[in-house]
């Protein structure tokens, strides 16, 4: 979820926290892990107020086609409102 949220843009920690619904501790650990694996870059801005920004590395961006494919699949097969599979609607395809 965090990697998908960073797709194409840099975000601050609190923006990611709001968009993912993750707790601060969980998000911090995840971002640290993704950083260690080379998927996420972290940039600190020292001007007041101090801010930390996160973005995808080249390696992280390489996952974007996978995110797009999953999103396309979900658009086709999952009813977003009800959260139910609509495969029956495609049975005659």
Query: What would the pLDDT profile of 29-55 be if each residue is shown by its tens digit?
Result: 999 999 999 999 999 998 888 899 999
Are 4 and 49 part of one and the same domain? yes
Model confidence at 28, pLDDT cuts 50, 70, 90, reads: very high
Here the CATH number for the domain that contains residue 27 is: 1.10.10.10
39 and 84 inside one domain: no
Same domain for 39 and 1, yes or no, is: yes
pTM for this entry: 0.75
Task: State the Cα–Cα distance between residues 61 and 7, nearest whole angstrom.
Answer: 7
DSSP 3-state helix, strand, coil percentages of the chain (rounded to 5)?
50, 20, 30
The domain of 92 spans: 63-93
Residue with the bigger pLDDT between 59 and 75: it is 59
Domain tally, the chain: 2
Whether residue 37 sits in one domain with residue 12: yes
């Amino acid at each position: 979820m965090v990697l998908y949220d960073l797709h194409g843009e840099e975000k601050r920690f609190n923006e990611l926290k709001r968009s993912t619904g993750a707790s601060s501790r969980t998000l911090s650990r995840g971002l640290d892990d993704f950083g260690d694996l080379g998927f996420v870059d972290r940039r600190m801005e020292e001007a007041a107020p101090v801010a930390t920004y996160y973005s995808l590395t080249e390696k992280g961006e390489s996952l974007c086609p996978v995110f797009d494919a999953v999103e396309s699949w979900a658009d086709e097969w999952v009813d977003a409102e009800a959260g139910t599979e609509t495969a029956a609607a495609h049975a005659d395809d």
